[in-house]
Structure 1
Amino acid sequence: MRAWLTVVAIALFGVSACSEEPPAPDHTIVQPGLPGEPNRTLSAEEAESALPDTEPNDEDVSYVRNMIIHHQQAVEMSALAPERAADERVRGLASRIHDVQGPEIGMMNRWLTGHDLPAVNPTEAHAHADMPGMATAEELAALTAARGPEFDRLFLELMIRHHEGAIEMARAVQVSGVDVRVQEMADDVIAEQADEIRRMREMQG
């Protein structure tokens, strides 16, 4: 059930995100049938009404609030790279992390306010070093002081651990959360950050 609902949700979000043109009135979405039954085609309105009207649970809310803070530290670490990194690949990866995770913070805060919950101030990051993968204040100071190959080495080491922590958090909410949109967020974190971990390990090697 969750698999096809996630496909429906992705399709609904994609219609508004991928084009400035309004969706065609006859836009349809395929709903896989039960075993032995044919697939059904749903309009966007039917698909939206098929999504479960389930309030997010505490695990969903905690995940989003914590991931905002987790993302903010990655954004701050990445912002150091343009003036400190020696490897062009490290600068490119840092730029991508900065450009992707910054807007994701805004998206997650909009999810919170859309559920009548207070937004998170991302600058609270330094008070949450106990989350998986978070760099300590001492490690951040060392990264800030580093230059050239030493910066590259330390950045990759810390960011791989940081991404591994984000994936751990995402996998946990996949088990304990109930909100469809949060499940999509977790799926995206796992896919994007696993790929970046692979690329960073190649840079190390």
Structure 2
Amino acid sequence: MTGRQGRVWLAVTALVALLVVVGVALTRSGDERPAADAASPSATVSPVDAPPVVVPGRPGEAAATRAAQEVREGAPPRYNSLDVWYVRMMIPHHQQAVEMATLAPDRAADPRVRAVADRIRAAQGPEIGVLRGWLGARGLDAEVPGHDHGAMRGMQSADAMRQLAAARGAEFDRLFVQMMTAHHEGAVIMSTDLLKVGVDQTLQEFANSVATEQSAEIARLRELIAP
């Protein structure tokens, strides 16, 4: 091989080597591009706007409204069928207690009876809102078609409610204390039962509050008719 042929051969070899290096570099670049594209912000799907969600507060506190995205980012709420049953039953149970208490200002003779009735209205009225908010936040209906609420513990019959509404003075006081005591006892039993079988933390706190506060009120009611 002459000197000129050797120089030509070296030039061709160098050109081939350069093309190989460039080809490998382009191949690696092509492999890495999809990963970069996947991490690109443009690949992120924006969440769909959703209406706000009503979040029930603790016992005695009003419900709050929060953005749906904030609620979804947290852990999903845990509850069972017995939690739902308790809320659906406690709403009409509280409503009857408020109805009884509303009769007292114009009918009770004992100011202590009126004071107890005022406390019941102030406590159980807002709690009804909390219970409704709990159901609404989970897309659940408050009503149970075909259910007889009169069969619940402590619920007073329609005849007993009419008798209470017709009473005045000392007779009203006696009936009110008797009926509200039985009514509270029913709520305490329902709440104590939920504490054994429910799983929702908000309702556990609510039921514990009902059991504690209404047990104390039962003692106060009994003092009103003590000899």
Give the TM-score of the pair, scaled to structure 2. 0.65
Decide whether the 8 Å contact of 1:70 with 1:134 is kept in 2.
yes
Asked if residue 193 in structure 1 is aligned to residue 209 in structure 2, the reply is no
Q: CA deviation at 1:128?
A: 1.1
Alignment of 1:46-61 (within 5 A): 53-61=76-84
Asked if residue 134 in structure 1 is aligned to residue 155 in structure 2, the reply is yes
Mapped to 1, the partners of 2:110 and 2:148 lie a distance apart of 31
Mapped to 2, the partners of 1:106 and 1:84 lie a distance apart of 27
Alignment of 1:41-80 (within 5 A): 53-80=76-103
Alignment of 1:1-205 (within 5 A): 53-120=76-143, 127-205=148-226
Q: CA deviation at 1:55?
A: 2.4
Which letter does structure 2 place at the counterpart of 1:91?
R
Mapped to 1, the partners of 2:138 and 2:77 lie a distance apart of 11
Mapped to 2, the partners of 1:61 and 1:95 lie a distance apart of 28
Q: Percent identity?
A: 49
Mapped to 2, the partners of 1:95 and 1:72 lie a distance apart of 14
Q: CA deviation at 1:204?
A: 1.0
Q: CA deviation at 1:117?
A: 1.0
Mapped to 2, the partners of 1:165 and 1:119 lie a distance apart of 20
Decide whether the 8 Å contact of 1:110 with 1:119 is kept in 2.
no
Decide whether the 8 Å contact of 1:170 with 1:187 is kept in 2.
yes
SS in 1 for 2:204: helix
Which letter does structure 2 place at the counterpart of 1:115?
R
Mapped to 2, the partners of 1:79 and 1:96 lie a distance apart of 11
Decide whether the 8 Å contact of 1:68 with 1:120 is kept in 2.
no
SS in 1 for 2:153: coil
Mapped to 1, the partners of 2:203 and 2:130 lie a distance apart of 11
Decide whether the 8 Å contact of 1:135 with 1:158 is kept in 2.
yes
Which letter does structure 2 place at the counterpart of 1:203?
L
Give the TM-score of the pair, scaled to structure 1. 0.71
Mapped to 1, the partners of 2:191 and 2:139 lie a distance apart of 23
Mapped to 2, the partners of 1:82 and 1:120 lie a distance apart of 30
Q: CA RMSD in A?
A: 2.3
Paired residues, what number? 157
Mapped to 2, the partners of 1:191 and 1:199 lie a distance apart of 13
Structure 1 ranges of 4+ moved more than 6 A: none
Which letter does structure 1 place at the counterpart of 2:150?
A
Decide whether the 8 Å contact of 1:84 with 1:147 is kept in 2.
yes
Q: CA deviation at 1:139?
A: 0.6
Relative to 1, partners in 2 of residues 1:120 and 1:107: Cα closer, same or farther, differing over 3 Å?
Answer: farther
SS in 2 for 1:133: coil
